[in-house]
Structure 1
Amino acid sequence: MGRVRAAVRTGAVAGAAAVAVAAGLPAAAHATGTAPQPVPTYRAADGAKAVAGKPSTADAPLLEAGSVYQDEIAPGERVYRLVLEKDQSNVYVSAVVRPGPGAKVTGSDGIEVEIMTTAGRSCQGSTGRASFGYDPVPISAAGVRWGSEDAECAPGGVYYAKVTRTSAKGSDQSPWPVELKVQREPGRSSGGPTAAPGSWASGAPTLPGTEAVARTGGTGFNDARALGGGVWRDELRPGQTRFYRVPLDWGQQLGLSAELSAAKLTKQYGSASNGLTVSLYSPYRRLVSYEDVSYDGKQAGATLEKTPPVAYENRFASDAEVKSVGIAGWYYIAVTMGAKVADFTEDATPVPLTLRTDVSGTPAKAPAYAQSLTAAGFGVGAEDRAAAREGLTAPEAADAARNGSVMRVVAGAGFGTGTLLLLVLGGWILLARRGRGAATAG
């Protein structure tokens, strides 16, 4: 393929990506006066493998570290097999369930992940749970095999991950898609900490008040929009959840708040008790903390307590909110507007959302691992910090790494449709001119 043809094709790929991102922006849907599109559905992981869990350990399918799987789960249990090494590594198995639009859920409905031995014993501190509020939004729970803290689960061999979906009698009983991800944290070198940390500065964070920068959140963990510290502007519709991700290095803390401003009211009075929910997840998709507040269509705000500094020894704490902040990497933020808000607001008009994030603390030296933490998908490197500055999702960051700077046209996902098209058309014209010049020179 000639140089000119290759350049024009690259420009076309960038143009298609730009238009696709622009089409996904809420502003593009209502700026033309057309009816609102359905709330975007959860983006599954690229390359996820189909798997069918079993109701018992007999013939349970194998899950391997470093892989993502897709299955379906009805109320009840699904069992999967793990083959683990005796190397003091920690293995995390997360399950993200995705109810269908409009599915009925209650606070007693949820998901649980447990790691078990072949004797049926639950590994110490392995079980992770998550439950719904009033809305059928994606939620995640994670089970853990602690390779150095639990003597009975330290040996190498076969283990089982049991995923249980609980459902009240009047709730939706249909099978839901479930995404399973297996992550392995390498074992530590000798001499590491074995006790919980002392105290730290906690409580409400001091958050920035600078001008907001547009960043459109993703549909789930796989396309969460990257953020650093700052003020970020997005939009939400009733029943919608936006996902974001923030890199936290060793020794760093995260402060976070979310605000909904005024909606276009259809009734003089109204209120949704869970009108705004903010959830924070760990790099292995376990819930760290959350806050939900009511929303009356005029103003609402939710602030999470500042996380403890990321530290290996946090995993020895008894407090679940501390225990889950035990490894450096991408922490995920999910912001939901309750579906009940549609009872008194105009669904076609998205509501402005403001996120305030503060990343504090100087990055500390990483613990001594026996193998690369980065290769395992954890830790924070230069590429992660760049992605946070540019607002890249994980797929965009991967494309940028493969294709150079082409994808940076759409990095912020805050451009208007017209601006994106002008940038793309300008790029095509420039490439065409360069092509003509190269042909003439040849």
Structure 2
Amino acid sequence: MSRVDICNGKHLDCNRKHSYATQGNHPMHLTTTGMIRGLLAGLLTGTVALSGAGTANAATSTAHLPAATESSTDVPGKLLLMLDASGSMNEADPSGGTKMEAAKKALIGVVDKLPQDTNVGLRVYGATEEGGKPTKAACADTQLVAPIAPLDKPALTKAINDFEAKGETPIAHSLTKAIDDLGDTGPRNVILVSDGEESCVPDPCPVVKKLTKGGVDLRIDTVGFGVKDPARKQLRCIADAGDGTYYDAKDADELTTRLNKLSQQAVRDFTFNGTPITGIDLVEDEQPPADLPKLTPGLYTDELTANKDTWRAYEVERTTAESTLHVAVTTKPSTYSNRAGDDNEQEKLELNILAPDGTTCAKETTFEGPGNGFRPIVTVSGRVLGQPLEEGPDDDACQAKGTFTVLVNRQAAQQEASAEIQVIEEPPVTNLEALPEIVDEHPDQKDLPEGEAKPVTGGLSFSDAAEISSGTWVDTLVPGETLLYRVKVEDGQIGRFTVNGPTQGFRFPADAANHEQVFIQGMVYSPDRQNADGLTPVPGTFSRGDSDPQSISTSQVRYKNRYADTLGDPDSAPGSSMGGWYYYSLSVSTKDVGEDLTGQPIKVAFTVDVEGKPSGAVKYDGQDGWDSAATGAQKDDSGSQETGTSDTSKDEGGSPLPWIGGGLLTAVLMGLGVWFGLRRKGAQGSARSQE
């Protein structure tokens, strides 16, 4: 099947990505303090604008932007483990013993691995009333056997051992009680393990949708333990409604081997990185305050509300004339209902940067939706160019020093979303005229052959992306998941990436009715989080008899690529203008075979090649360390790696996470990855237009 068939047929909507931008060649001017109010009025009726800019002093280097490894935003959350203790948990587990014995062993293993400062509790249902009939008492049978409190391993272990399986499966009632357990504030997380569907009323899925309505900071992950299709469908619906992920656990032994790598990733202590900041919300005709919250080079976190009429406002200081300001805003992924084409299902970010006199220096807009079955991070990145290729009076405002205004608008089905804001002030260069011109065309694509694969555990965001190099790598993903990696691509080099496809014993499900293909997508982002691969829309497709790998690349990295014309130059050029860490995101779709493999891990091979030698051509007129400061990175003198990890061991038994309690532990720990941080996938962002 050709890629045209994939795009135009029933399989994927390859035009789901939309991103457009303007880079201030002919900026609009507003001349009074009412300029922002006037601009807002225009923005609120559909006009959009964005831009970014830089720093100064004397140094020679390319822009190395390492991933941040520490966060100042670690706010203690609350975790509630919830276990099905219905009578069916007394059934045999294929790996030996009963399901309840396996579940208890897994939970004890989880407790043993939790950080000591975890606020955790345990709720069970079906543990006191006899089952067999959904009586009023049986449908109210749920107990908080361990209230949420700082981790007390002996007490929690005793609570796990002190109940038996006997009753019904009142999931909806138990989840309603769980909300009370977790309280009203802070990040709240539920991990539900069940071997069946609701046996009482009401249906838990609509209940969860109601409980999470209005931007409640709650996430519910579900694990189906030896479940059949109806229960799997219901548990997946609960996870989707609860902004979580469903994981399938057929038996403990299977998960021990299939989810080994995922467990390493899941228990990482991860959150958005940066200094907490609260922007000011501005609406039409509202005068902004004199002093907006100030962004300086680094990483920040904020909470964004979905509202087409509200703009989140900040200010950023350009300290050096003709530096380049870069601003990127990244949100966690939305949970979609997979209603392709529903505008309310789109995640939309708009970013605008205004000069001190109100000139619109740049504008960016990014859309993301559920049409392809991918659930990525959503990122919008803009820059205000400092040094002009040609002098022009209209550019003066966007090149001068002073305080710039940053405006962010978010529209989405989910009301609230955490956001990470990256600010970079890139110094001007001293040898602009001598640098190579903008690339003429995007490099010819070529499929990189799969070599001997090295295992790697991808990160959940830009901030904790796993460091990789040229070669073939293999990671484990479940459908609907996106992981990130970072590779150094310097000025003069090209970064190439190929999705080689499912590997290491992957088998297509025998009972996949009318489903033929696995869709896997890669995307490339620049150090300032712009799309750098030319907005390639078509994922790799892999079937029983054929495969069509996806191969993408940056343009050759050249400083002057940032000046590329959006109509006449390669789409990938503006995102290939800084040397440093480039990010590769890898996603598995929930469409087609992905639907049959819901919650099941797939090992995916991908190959990376950094082509060419660093040019060393760019000479910055700036101080040392501006690049590290710009991402909030801390120098690691020990050489240890705090982000996502690569593992050169060929034996998965060499995992740094010991296996306790079999594979069900893995599934629970996969859910725990959300407790330690939001699973964030993929991303979109571009400084170009796309039809």
Shift of residue 370 of structure 1?
0.8
C-alpha contact 2:435 2:618 (8 A) present in aligned 1: no
Aligned to 1:264: 509
Question: What is the RMSD of the two structures over their aligned residues, measured on CA atoms?
Answer: 4.0
Deviation at 1:198, TM superposition (A): 4.8
Residue matched to 2:553? 306
Report if aligned partners of 1:42, 1:98 keep a CA contact under 8 Å in 2: no
Alpha-carbon separation, structure 1, partners of 2:415 and 2:339: 12
* 2:604 counterpart SS class: strand
Identity %: 21
Pair 1:278 & 2:522 matched: yes
Quick one: structure 1 residues 360 and 235, their matched pair in 2 at CA, closer, same or farther if it must change by over 3 Å? Answer: same
**Cα-to-partner distance string for 1:169-198 (whole Å, 9 max, x where unaligned):** xxx141211111111111112553588425
Residue aligning to 1:139: 378
Whether the 8 Å CA contact 1:213–1:231 is kept in 2: the answer is yes
C-alpha contact 1:183 1:376 (8 A) present in aligned 2: yes
For 1:89, give the aligned amino acid.
S
Residue among 271, 277, 291 paired with 2:537: 291
Tell me: CA distance 1:267–1:192, structure 2 relative to 1, closer, same or farther (3 Å): same
Which of 122, 129, 153 is residue 398 of structure 2 equivalent to?
153
Is the Cα–Cα contact under 8 Å of residues 296 and 316 in structure 2 kept in the other structure? yes
Q: Which residue of 2 aligns with 1:66?
A: 298
Distance, in Å, in 2 between the alignment partners of 1:407 and 1:137 is 23
* Structure 1 Cα separation of the partners of residues 273 and 358 of structure 2: 33
State the aligned residue count. Answer: 379
Deviations 1:290-338 (A, max 9, x none): 3333757646544344322111111111134101111101111111112
The aligned runs of 1:203-218 (5 Å cut-off) are 203-205=444-446, 207-218=448-459
Question: Partner letter of residue 321 of structure 1?
Answer: S
Q: TM-score, normalised by structure 1?
A: 0.73
Structure 1 residue aligned with 2:616: 365
CA distance in 2, matches of 1:226, 1:104: 32
For residue 596 of structure 2, give the secondary structure of its aligned residue in structure 1. coil
- From the superposition, tell whether residues 352 and 404 of structure 1 become closer, same or farther in structure 2 (CA, over 3 Å): closer
126-135 or 180-189: which moved more? 126-135
Match of 1:50 in 2: 277
| Aligned equivalents of 2:485, 2:475: Cα separation in 1 | 11
SS class of match (1:233):
strand
In the alignment, structure 1 segments of 5+ residues that lack a partner are: 1-18, 21-25, 380-393, 424-442
Task: Quote how far apart the aligned CAs of 1:72 are.
Answer: 2.2
8 Å Cα contact 1:215-1:414 kept in structure 2: no
Q: What code does the residue aligned with 2:271 have?
A: A
CA distance in 2, matches of 1:418, 1:28: 19
**TM-score, reference length from structure 2:** 0.48
Moved more, 220-229 or 259-268: 259-268
Partner of 1:98: 332
Task: Please say if residues 489 and 582 of structure 2, whose CA atoms lie closer than 8 Å, have aligned partners that are also in contact.
Answer: yes
The Cα shift of 1:122 comes to 1.5
Letter in 2 for 1:316: Y
Match in the other structure for 1:322: 573
- Which one-letter code corresponds to 1:291 in the other structure? P
The structural deviation recorded for 1:280 is 0.9
Q: Give the C-alpha shift of residue 403 in structure 1.
A: 3.4
Distance, in Å, in 1 between the alignment partners of 2:602 and 2:425 is 39
1:263 and 1:373 mapped to 2: Cα distance?
A: 52
3-state DSSP class of the match of 1:67? strand
Matched with 1:340 is 591
Distance of aligned partners of 1:263 and 1:162 in 2 relative to their CA distance in 1, 3 Å threshold: farther
State the 1:163 CA deviation. Answer: 1.4
State the partner residue of 1:434.
none
Question: How is 1:408-423 mapped onto 2 (pairs within 5 angstroms)?
Answer: 411-412=646-647, 418-420=653-655
Q: CA deviation at 1:33?
A: 3.6
Residue 259 of structure 1 deviates from its aligned partner by: 3.3
Tell me: CA distance 1:421–1:333, structure 2 relative to 1, closer, same or farther (3 Å).
closer
* Amino acid paired to 1:349: Q
SS of 1:287 mapped into structure 2: coil
| Stretch of structure 1 that moved more, 327-336 or 317-326 | 317-326
Alpha-carbon distance between aligned partners in 2 of 1:249 and 1:270, rounded to the nearest angstrom: 42
User: In the alignment, which residue of structure 2 is the partner of 1:111?
Assistant: 349
Structure label with greater radius of gyration: 2
Name stretches of at least 5 consecutive residues in structure 2 with no aligned partner: 1-112, 115-246, 389-394, 659-691
- What is the one-letter code of the residue matched to 1:283? P
The 1:407/1:47 distance shift into structure 2, 3 A limit, reads closer
Larger deviation, residues 341-350 vs 232-241: 341-350
* Residue 391 of structure 1: aligned partner: none
User: Residue 404 of structure 2: SS of its match in structure 1?
Assistant: strand
Shift of 1:404: 4.8
Q: Give 1:243 deviation, angstroms.
A: 0.6
Contact preservation (8 Å) 1:277, 1:293: yes
Contact 2:331 2:378 in 1 (8 A): yes
Higher relative contact order (CA closer than 8 Å, sequence separation 6+): 2
Q: Give, in angstroms, the shift of residue 359 of structure 1.
A: 0.7
Where does 1:118-267 land on structure 2 (aligned, <5 Å)? 118-123=356-361, 126-134=362-370, 135-149=374-388, 150-167=395-412, 172-189=413-430, 191-193=432-434, 196-199=437-440, 202-205=443-446, 207-261=448-502, 262-264=507-509, 266-267=511-512
Measure the CA separation in 1 of the matches of 2:539 and 2:409: 28
State the distance in 1 between where 2:288 and 2:598 align: 48
The 1:269/1:179 distance shift into structure 2, 3 A limit, reads: same
SS where residue 376 of structure 1 aligns? helix
**What is the CA distance between 1:74 and its match in structure 2?**
1.3
> Partners in 1 of 2:542 and 2:551 — Cα distance?
20
Alpha-carbon distance in 1 for matches of 2:492, 2:606? 23
- Counterpart-to-counterpart distance in 2, 1:101 and 1:156: 41
- 1:279 is aligned with what amino acid? M
Instruction: State yes or no: 1:88 paired with 2:322.
Output: yes
After superposition, the Cα gap between the structure-2 partners of 1:42 and 1:417, relative to the gap in structure 1 and judged at 3 Å, is: same
- In the alignment, is the contact (CA less than 8 A) between 2:561 and 2:574 conserved in 1? yes
**Counterpart of 2:27?**
none
- CA deviations on 1:215-237 (whole Å, 9 max, x unpaired) are 12111101111111111111221
Q: Name the residue aligned to 1:11.
A: none
> SS state of the match for residue 153, structure 1?
helix
CA deviation vs aligned residue, 1:258-304 (integer Å, no higher than 9, x gap): 133244354232267x9322211110011123333375764654434
Would you say the 8 A contact 1:140–1:287 is kept in 2?
no
